[in-house]
């Protein structure tokens, strides 16, 4: 008697650059904002004067990865498919190139990013040299005479030093018709020699109309309910032009974390440490990785926004009053240094798997000390 086939469950591999509950950036149908960057890339490709390296820089969640995949689709598509839509990099979504890029199955595309450790059920904290070494074998395969090969590195600031040096070797002597698209939120962490070999595209946060449309598209694609109108003012304030940030905040716990953080910062230079400990506990428990990242993003944004407002003397009334109260005129340098320290300690905590609650408590203690002048 024949045996019945063994049924095996297939588990979808998580992706580090995908927000839970929403499609991956490469699945985005329409792009909002960044048309100048799209135009620059399209003109370079069609003029025949294409730079081999592009550094796509900007804050997290404003569409950098979406743009990188659109650039890849455009370069890998047939010339006849280009410039058929309203945007510079639009190509038919039913084209072979578009469908293959979406499935990560295009032979001319390689994506380098932090891998998922199936055994430990977590992402590695850095992009290792083994990941970057895949570029060598990828480039060894022959392509058609006029075919492009595209390598997306997302995020490039997550490369460890060995991986960065290995990438540099590929950037220094790239084969013809090879494109490197490096996505980064912290270009200062990249090797100077890597930055110098790339054409830089600095992206700004989305305007309120663009972010509303981009969020509506993402929510519809994720099958969620539209965002309540009453929530939009606080969401726009917390998002700071980032679609990803707004989507994360739109969940009930996200708005709660934001509201609690605002209250704690408003109480400076005094702090209710019971509230601070409660907030830290809320975002550092089991399964709360995204809430922790969200709080640290909000903390970093709060510090940078207060410094910017105090430096230029402009901003909405509530934030301007808070900045003037917390940052004396002679204290701008200290607060700017505070922002750098928070970024450094956050990266160290992630790389060494240090205690996240300790990082949060130390950050608030540093903010308290800075606000006392």
The domain spanning residue 78 has which CATH number?
Answer: 3.40.50.300
Q: Please write down the long-range contacts of 38-47, taking CB distance under 8 Å and 24 or more positions apart.
A: 38/67, 38/70, 38/87, 38/88, 38/89, 39/88, 40/201, 41/71, 41/74, 41/88, 41/89, 41/201, 42/74, 42/82, 42/83, 42/88, 42/89, 43/88, 44/199, 45/74, 45/75, 46/82, 46/83
Note the pLDDT of residue 281.
94
Q: What average pLDDT does the segment 311-340 reach?
A: 88
**Could you tell me if 196 and 288 lie in one domain?**
no
**Could you tell me if 176 and 294 lie in one domain?**
no
**Cα–chain-centroid distance for residue 356?**
20
Give domain status of residue 225, yes or no. Answer: no
pLDDT at 3 > cutoff 60: no
Note the pLDDT of residue 1.
41
Q: How far apart are CA 2 and CA 5, in angstroms?
A: 9
Instruction: Indicate the angle between helix axes 289-312 and 273-284, nearest 10 degrees.
Output: 130
Q: What is the pTM of this model?
A: 0.82
Percent helix / strand / coil, the chain, rounded to 5? 55, 10, 35
Sign of CA dihedral 340, 342, 348, 351: negative
Q: How far apart are CA 328 and CA 17, in angstroms?
A: 39
Q: How many domains does the chain have?
A: 2
Give domain status of residue 229, yes or no. Answer: no
Tell me what percent of the residues of the chain surpass a pLDDT of 70: 95
pLDDT band at 208 (very low <50, low <70, confident <90, very high): very high
**Which residues pair with residue 57 across a beta bridge?**
184, 202
Q: How far apart are CA 134 and CA 110, in angstroms?
A: 8
**Could you tell me if 267 and 179 lie in one domain?**
no
Domain that holds residue 195: 25-202
- Looking up tokens 């903390």 gives 299
pLDDT band at 144 (very low <50, low <70, confident <90, very high): low
**Could you tell me if 52 and 130 lie in one domain?**
yes
Three-class DSSP category at 136: helix
Q: pLDDT tens across 229-250, in order? A: 888 988 898 888 999 989 988 8
Give domain status of residue 220, yes or no. Answer: no
Distances (CA, A) of 24 to 31, 63, 103: 13, 11, 11
**Could you tell me if 266 and 178 lie in one domain?**
no
Question: Where among 202, 224, 259 does a domain terminate?
Answer: 202
pLDDT at 8 > cutoff 70: no
């Amino acid at each position: 008697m024949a045996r019945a086939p063994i049924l095996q469950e297939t588990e979808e591999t998580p992706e580090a650059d995908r927000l839970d509950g929403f499609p991956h950036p490469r699945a985005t149908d329409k792009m909002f904002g960044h048309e100048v960057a799209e135009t620059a890339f399209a003109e370079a490709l069609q003029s025949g004067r294409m730079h081999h390296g592009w550094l796509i820089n900007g804050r997290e969640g404003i569409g950098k990865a979406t743009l990188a995949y659109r650039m890849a689709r455009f370069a890998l598509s047939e010339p006849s498919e280009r410039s058929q839509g309203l945007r510079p990099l639009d190509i038919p979504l039913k084209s072979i190139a578009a469908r293959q890029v979406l499935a990560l199955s295009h032979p001319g595309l390689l994506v380098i990013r932090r891998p998922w450790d199936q055994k430990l059920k977590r992402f590695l904290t850095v992009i290792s040299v083994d990941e970057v070494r895949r570029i060598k074998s990828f480039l060894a395969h022959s392509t058609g005479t006029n075919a492009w090969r595209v390598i997306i590195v997302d995020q490039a600031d997550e490369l460890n030093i060995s991986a960065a040096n290995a990438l540099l070797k590929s950037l220094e002597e790239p084969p013809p018709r090879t494109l490197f698209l490096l996505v980064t939120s912290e270009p200062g962490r990249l090797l100077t020699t890597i930055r110098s070999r790339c054409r830089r595209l600095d992206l700004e946060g989305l305007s309120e109309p663009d972010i509303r449309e981009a969020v509506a598209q993402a929510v519809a694609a994720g099958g969620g309910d539209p965002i309540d109108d009453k929530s939009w003012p606080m969401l726009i304030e917390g998002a700071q032009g980032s679609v990803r940030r707004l989507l994360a905040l739109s969940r009930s716990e996200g708005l709660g974390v934001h509201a609690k953080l605002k209250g704690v910062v408003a109480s400076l230079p005094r702090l209710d440490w019971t509230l601070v400990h409660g907030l830290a506990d809320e975002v550092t428990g089991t399964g709360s990785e995204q809430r922790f990242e969200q709080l640290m993003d909000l903390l970093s944004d709060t510090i940078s926004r207060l410094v910017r407002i105090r430096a230029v003397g402009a901003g909405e009334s509530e934030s301007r009053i808070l900045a003037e109260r917390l940052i004396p005129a002679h204290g701008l340098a200290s607060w700017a240094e505070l922002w750098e320290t928070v970024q450094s300690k956050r990266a160290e905590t992630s790389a060494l798997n240090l205690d996240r609650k300790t990082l949060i408590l130390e950050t608030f203690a540093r903010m308290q000390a800075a606000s006392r002048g």
